[in-house]
Amino acid sequence: MKTIIITGSTSGIGLGIAENFASAGYNVVLNGLGKPDEIEATRARVADLGAGEVIFHGANMLKPDEITDLVKTTRDKFGSVDVIIPNAGIQHVEKIEDFPLEKWDAIIAINLSSAFHLIRAAMPIMKQQEFGRIIAIASAHGLVASPFKSSYVAAKHGIVGLMKTVALEGAEFGVTANAICPGYVETPLVSGQIADTAKARGMSEEDVISDVILKAQPTKQFVTVEQIASLALFLASDQAAQITGAALPMDGGWTAQ
């Protein structure tokens, strides 16, 4: 039975990936923020989806030692670390000259550096196993830019470059590394932004979705969490063994323009 670690997996995209892998029979290590009772309820619900065991580790993505312990705990508990999905991320929008320095540092640390620390801890295990799947959740902003998102775009471009380097280092050891680059995904956070934008601009929510949120996506449809989770599960499979070093857009045509 294979084991997966997913950072930022108590909600949103990370939780959807956890549910998909649990349903496929993986042991799952959850990580993220939330109240203890809510996290436990989530853990129990995910555990009910499949035959594997589901545990939670509260590693802070700002603390490299805790990220290292996340990997060590997983190895000690399950005997292997087969798949890691660096997914944890935060966002802040502001023009460069007014961008708060602490926000820049936090976004680079959580969105980029935490992925490095996770991979650094897991790579020796994966090389020894001669098997590993590293699947980073990047963004369309890992391939193209938008104004006012300097730190987020820099971090996500960094993730794409990091995956290329890791792919080359892992190629002879059965370890692949890829980045999934979603466009806008309909999560509770985005749904709240839609309602707030509609109110602020005096627009209908339908117009906000089409003309503001999804303006860059030719399909005018959100990417779903389930679609991202399905791609991640495929990239973890034996069928994807020759896909490595790739940045895979799932963005409704955004980056094709």
> Could you list the active site residues?
152
Q: What is the DSSP letter of 222?
A: P
Strands (E) in the chain, as ranges, are: 3-6, 27-30, 54-56, 83-85, 132-137, 175-182, 247-250
- 137, β-bridge pairs: 180
- Tell me if 126 sits within 8 A of 119, measured CB to CB: no
- Tell me if 58 sits within 8 A of 10, measured CB to CB: no
Rounded Cα–Cα distance for residues 179 and 119 (Å): 13
Rounded Cα–Cα distance for residues 205 and 192 (Å): 11
- Tell me if 78 sits within 8 A of 54, measured CB to CB: no
Write the DSSP string, 102-160. Answer: HHHHHHHIIIIIHHHHHHHHHHHHHHHHT-EEEEEE--GGGTS--TT-HHHHHHHHHHH
Say which residues have a Cβ less than 8 Å from residue 200's Cβ, sequence separation at least 6. Answer: none
- Tell me if 84 sits within 8 A of 163, measured CB to CB: no
